[in-house]
Structure 1
Amino acid sequence: MTAKEWTGEDASHALRRPTALDDKYSRGVVGLRTGSARYPGAAMLGVEAAWRTGTGMVRYLGPERAQDLVLQRRPETVTADGRVQAWVIGSGTDAAERDAAETAALRGILNGDLPVVVDAGALDLVVGAAAPVVVTPHARELDRLRADLGLSRADATDDAAREEAALETAAALGGVVLLKGAVTIVATGDGWVRRVGAGTPWLATAGTGDVLAGVLGAVTAGAVAADRRGLDDLAACAATAAWLHGTAGRVASGISGGEGGPITALDVAEALPRVVAGVLSDSIG
């Protein structure tokens, strides 16, 4: 099995340039319930990425230390609960350290009707969710999720096996699987599958997954604001986010006919506006 490659042209169809008729709500509002006392930087990175992808508003709900970092870096972020069009949960959190109140709050989000990007420390709660979900596991997290779903350990020996595992997991989950790796696989349970190879090995560094989650939350909120909320729409958002993230990594690394150089997660977030602008103007593809 070889999935079709997701391209910049494909990504352009999932994004929309704002017009004079737009306001912050029509552009999309993304809520993030991410970060922890142990990993507060994950919250800041996800919020930064969401803003730089082009969302209309970011709401952040999280622990005080993480909130302080978010507001220091992005003072335009709203830290009060309210209207959102998509959620990002779990980045920078550890299920073993989550208290009962936070678990209840996350379950409330997962039992709602808004799309939810489920990352890292919230993956243990996703089985049985009523909300439309996109899970974003790496290989080890995929194995834990598959165990929760009653599936066997995934074969990660090649991309064809990874595609099969992503499709099977998506079918059991009833949502979208974005399986992270050198080649990212995006799949739904009805057989829709794409591969995204836009990145660079320099993206294998701490915090880039938090950036990806923020990008995906922003793209998804924009799609919901435009009334695109079907499962295929959600899958297209996931593939687009992976493409934007990978391309931003290449831009940040300075790859242009060569192999580029080291980057940090914040470098990737800061490259996103250039990448989004390029996609919308057809100058990056």
Structure 2
Amino acid sequence: MSEVTDFTAWTSADAASVIAVPRPEDDKYSRGVLGIRTGSDRYPGAAVLGVEAALRTGVGMVRYVGPARPSDLVLQRRPEAVTAPGRVQAWLIGSGMDADHREDAPLIAALDEGVPSVLDGGALDLVRHATSPVVLTPHFRELARLLDTDPGEVALAPASWARRASDELGATVLLKGTTTYVAGPGIALSVTGAPAWLATAGAGDALGGVLGALLATRSTDAAADEQLPARLAATAALIHGHAAARASAGGPLTILDLCAQLPSVVADLVRQ
């Protein structure tokens, strides 16, 4: 497949225009509640990183619903997280899950609630169960599996495959990589600038948390504007990359280092 070239570079000014800034009259519910179904007994850290990133990006509440071990670790790290079920404005599902060892029923039930969703990792194949706007966040190998094609082909033409996946699956697709490509209905965006040091375990878990938070804070708007999920996805990638650059300062970073930089990155953007 030949590479497409119609992707528009997403800028800091673009990102600033879609970030929801709290108003004096807002409370924790009107600021957005993100539901998170991620992690597993085998990969509990994915839950911790997603919750951490979401809370530091800006959201009124995070409801984490998952196995006992990840739940305990989430509460140890972020005691403000809520582990009781309840109403949410968006879902983040799949990070740190194995598609062959998951319980499908609660995930499908979440996707049937009619709120925007982020599908990552072990839940990408559930896209056809979504009843509202959904954003997929695969890397090239995951996208190749989802589309039953050669990973090498996706690696050679990532923009084209992101566009094709969006069209075939009826979803917004954020294809992670050195350049991140975001394709949605009638929209194609690209994000660059993240340091190479970001190629480390847990980076995608944090990106999911950032995007989930942005979707939860703009949930009603995302349901009404079919292109907004793509703009929010590109904004998540930009915030994630800028936070990584600050955490790295030219050297190695950990994902918790990245998460610690998220509030200052968001603050700098909204000042615009």
Residues 137-187 of structure 1, C-alpha deviations (whole Å, 9 max, x = no match): 00010011112xxx77673354xx211111111011111000000110000
Distance 1:128 1:59 in 2: 21
Segments of structure 1 that go 5 or more residues without pairing to the other structure are: 255-259
Which structure 2 residues correspond to residues 200-215 of structure 1 after superposition, within 5 A? 200-215=195-210
Distance 1:142 1:157 in 2: 10
Distance 1:186 1:157 in 2: 15
Distance 1:193 1:154 in 2: 22
Distance 1:182 1:132 in 2: 26
Distance 1:2 1:200 in 2: 24
Q: What corresponds to 2:213 in structure 1?
A: 218
Q: Which amino acid aligns with 1:67?
A: S
Distance 2:215 2:129 in 1: 21
- Normalized against structure 2, the TM-score is what? 0.94
Contact 1:118 1:126 in 2 (8 A): yes
Residues 34-76 of structure 1, C-alpha deviations (whole Å, 9 max, x = no match): 0100111110000000000010100000011100110001101
Q: What corresponds to 1:70 in structure 2?
A: 74
Residues 183-231 of structure 1, C-alpha deviations (whole Å, 9 max, x = no match): 100001x331010003111110000100000000000001115x34322
Match of 1:262 among 238, 246, 252: 252
Q: What corresponds to 1:165 in structure 2?
A: 161
Segments of structure 2 that go 5 or more residues without pairing to the other structure are: none
Q: What corresponds to 2:145 in structure 1?
A: 144
Residues 86-126 of structure 1, C-alpha deviations (whole Å, 9 max, x = no match): 0000001111121xxx2101111223311110000111222
Contact 2:133 2:222 in 1 (8 A): no
SS in 1 for 2:17: helix
Residue 153 to residue 271, structure 1, CA distance change in 2 (3 Å):
closer
Contact 2:140 2:155 in 1 (8 A): no
Q: What corresponds to 1:120 in structure 2?
A: 121
Distance 2:84 2:193 in 1: 36
Which structure 2 residues correspond to residues 173-252 of structure 1 after superposition, within 5 A? 173-188=169-184, 190-224=185-219, 227-229=221-223, 230-252=225-247
Q: Which amino acid aligns with 2:198?
A: L
Q: Does 1:277 align with 2:272?
A: no
Deviation, 1:128, is: 4.7
- State the percentage of identical aligned residues: 54
- How many pairs does the alignment contain? 267
Match of 1:40 among 33, 44, 47: 44
Q: Which amino acid aligns with 1:46?
A: G
Distance 1:209 1:30 in 2: 17
Q: Does 1:93 align with 2:97?
A: yes
Distance 1:40 1:63 in 2: 9
Q: What corresponds to 1:111 in structure 2?
A: 112
SS in 1 for 2:63: strand
Distance 1:95 1:13 in 2: 36
Q: Which amino acid aligns with 2:17?
A: H
SS in 2 for 1:31: strand
Q: Which amino acid aligns with 1:212?
A: L
Contact 2:33 2:88 in 1 (8 A): yes
- Choose 125-134 or 262-271, whichever is displaced more: 125-134
Q: Does 1:25 align with 2:20?
A: no
Distance 1:24 1:193 in 2: 33
Q: Which amino acid aligns with 1:117?
A: V
Residue 154 to residue 125, structure 1, CA distance change in 2 (3 Å):
farther
Deviation, 1:2, is: 4.0
- Normalized against structure 1, the TM-score is what? 0.90
Q: What corresponds to 1:79 in structure 2?
A: 83
